[in-house]
Structure 1
Amino acid sequence: MRIRTAVVATALLATLSACGSAPNQAPGAAPKPAGAEIAGQIDQTSVVDAGPVGQNLPGTPMLDKIRQKGELSFAGSRNTIGFSQLDPASGKLSGFDAGIAQLLAKYLLGKPNAKLQSGGSDTREALLGNHTIDIAVQTYTITEDRAKLVNFAGPYYLAASGIVVKTSDTTTKQASDLAGKKVATESGAAKDALLKAVPTAQPVLFDTAAQCVAAVEQGRAEAMTLNNASLYGVVATKSDVKLLDSTFGSNPFGIGLPKDDPAFKEVVNGFLKAIEADGTWTKLWQATVGKLVKTPAPQPPQIGSVPGS
């Protein structure tokens, strides 16, 4: 098994299915596939198998530890379709972030031995600080405050804040239209980005994207916003909400690393440069997020190009 899980996750998406006609879908057309079916189309195995192996890498405390264990432990999501989605029955983890972790393991070890550990967005810094995990690849936005606690390799992807509303909503077209409205979001970077762009918005805080979208569906919020990486898969499984074309702000994703081994950060940045240069990054996108958005792969961001990286 390529990924071994420390904690068995529940089958969140097994209960998600499309209902009714999708937005802009012709009458009589087949409904959107269920979330589990969409997740089943995402498989980065062949990309990881063809990924590069690092040559003549310098020894660092973290790299030595990882090689001694024979595996790379990482904090990652279990329920973000397209980026990191766990199938609890098979233990298979699929998506862009999952692929980044697997490719890094192969680059460091010669084989993609990556172990998903338990841990949420509120515990990543502590887990890295006490070396419970080796890295965090979890739609992890680089910020200067976070960079005081952890090192960031990257950025490896530039997300933006997206907006989801009911399909029937014809008045909300961009961020400024959220002024004075109740907007479902998560604490931290997502809420901060919302209030920076729309100071008069009224954040309604939830723990997960699924809870946010449910609030919109049930009328407890008029819209929701998270980084668009968290929204692609959610919207792909729904017919009563839509993701607007308009985005705001910037969410540069980085690989979180322990603060006490700066040389390891250079090794991981070297890995990112390698997969960008040889086309692996683009192939990974096409095999994962590209299955959801059906648009050409974006250009990878320049390593070290944002504050905190």
Structure 2
Amino acid sequence: MKRHVKTAALVTGITCGLGLSSLAVANETLDVVTDPSFVPFEMMDQETGEMVGFDMDIIAEVAERAGFDYELQTMDFNGIIPAVQTGNVDIAIAGITITEERAQIVDFSDPYYDSGLKILVRADEDGVEEISDLEGKTIATKVGSTSYDFLQENLGDSADITPYPGSSDMYMALLGGSADAVFYDAPNVAYFAQTRGEGRTKVVGPLYEGQQYGIVFVKGSEWVEPANEALAAMREDGTYDDIHAKWFGDTDDE
């Protein structure tokens, strides 16, 4: 279901003052898609029924600076890249890792968040410290994610790798005992461990496969450059740091 989220202001002389002189000057309404379960990047506010989170603040600011309006829709993560590839939507933002394989079929903005993959286990689990310790265990991860690909490449048939459509599903599998560990994006894993999983789960091991998130566009989109200029200006004037601090605490200048 689509929901009108934000109407971006027309780009004015103020935009030029921010160093965004090449941005589009006429508003266009674009379709933006996200995954509703990747907290704290995107999640449903149960009181307002609106999507909120780090990514939601980023795309709102980028849209305003780049000069486009947008309507937001949600879908399972596994369908997001195909939706952009086929042109069913114009833009996607959902903590999407920039990879060479994906970049062959869609365009990415410049990176806007540094990430990686981490292991989450139950608080009473003392036998898991690194990826090799997951051999013979049941591991929950997310369908279509780079974490699933990593597990397949590094563990293959030596573990029961179970992909779930939503983040909440894989965490509930861990808490319910049907999975021994969750392997997924570091910020999402850490957020769960500090919120709903506090006292019941813990993050273990090193950060695997350093990654960067990018905003996804239809191949050849005219909006990639305006979005990159907007992201650069947000870092320059401190807006990015303000948004980061809102959701993660003070930034370490990622």
TM-score where L is the length of structure 2: 0.82
Counterpart for residue 188 of structure 2: 230
| Contact map agreement 2:23 2:67 (CA 8 A) in 1 | no
Using the alignment, how far apart are the partners of 1:297 and 1:58 within structure 2?
Answer: 27
Aligned to 2:214, the other structure's residue is in SS state: strand
Q: 1:205 aligns with which of 147, 152, 163?
A: 163
Using the alignment, how far apart are the partners of 1:218 and 1:166 within structure 2?
Answer: 10
Using the alignment, how far apart are the partners of 1:187 and 1:140 within structure 2?
Answer: 13
Q: Cα offset for 1:75?
A: 0.9
Counterpart for residue 9 of structure 2: none
Using the alignment, how far apart are the partners of 1:187 and 1:130 within structure 2?
Answer: 19
Q: Cα offset for 1:223?
A: 0.7
Instruction: Confirm whether residue 297 of structure 1 aligns to residue 247 of structure 2.
Output: no
Q: How does 1:113-128 map to 2 (within 5 A)?
A: 113-128=69-84
Over residues 60-100 of structure 1, what are the superposed CA-to-partner deviations in whole Å (9 max), with x where a residue is unaligned?
xxx85xx133xx43111323332112214413332111111
Counterpart for residue 51 of structure 2: 93
Q: How does 1:128-139 map to 2 (within 5 A)?
A: 128-139=84-95
Instruction: Confirm whether residue 255 of structure 1 aligns to residue 215 of structure 2.
Output: yes
Q: Cα offset for 1:103?
A: 0.8
Instruction: Confirm whether residue 241 of structure 1 aligns to residue 201 of structure 2.
Output: yes
Counterpart for residue 269 of structure 1: 228
| Contact map agreement 2:37 2:166 (CA 8 A) in 1 | no
Q: 1:174 aligns with which of 118, 130, 146?
A: 130
Using the alignment, how far apart are the partners of 2:59 and 2:135 within structure 1?
Answer: 38
| Contact map agreement 1:182 1:221 (CA 8 A) in 2 | yes
Q: How does 1:20-169 map to 2 (within 5 A)?
A: 53=15, 55-59=20-24, 67-69=27-29, 72-109=30-67, 113-169=69-125
Give identity over the alignment, percent.
23
Q: Cα offset for 1:283?
A: 1.4
Q: Cα offset for 1:297?
A: 1.8
Aligned to 1:170, the other structure's residue is in SS state: coil
Q: Cα offset for 1:130?
A: 4.4
Over residues 153-205 of structure 1, what are the superposed CA-to-partner deviations in whole Å (9 max), with x where a residue is unaligned?
12111211111101001121222222232211123312112233445333122
Aligned to 1:286, the other structure's residue is in SS state: helix
Query: Is the deviation greater in 279-288 or in 127-136?
Result: 127-136
Counterpart for residue 246 of structure 2: 287
Unpaired runs of 5+ residues, structure 2, are: 4-13
Aligned to 1:81, the other structure's residue is in SS state: coil
Using the alignment, how far apart are the partners of 1:185 and 1:203 within structure 2?
Answer: 7
Unpaired runs of 5+ residues, structure 1, are: 8-51, 291-295, 301-309
Q: Cα offset for 1:281?
A: 1.5
Give the AA of the match of 1:277: E
TM-score where L is the length of structure 1: 0.69
- The CA RMSD measured in Å over matched residues stands at 2.5
Using the alignment, how far apart are the partners of 2:219 and 2:252 within structure 1?
Answer: 30
Q: Cα offset for 1:257?
A: 0.4
Q: 1:242 to 1:143 in 2, by over 3 A?
A: same
Structure with greater strand percent: 2
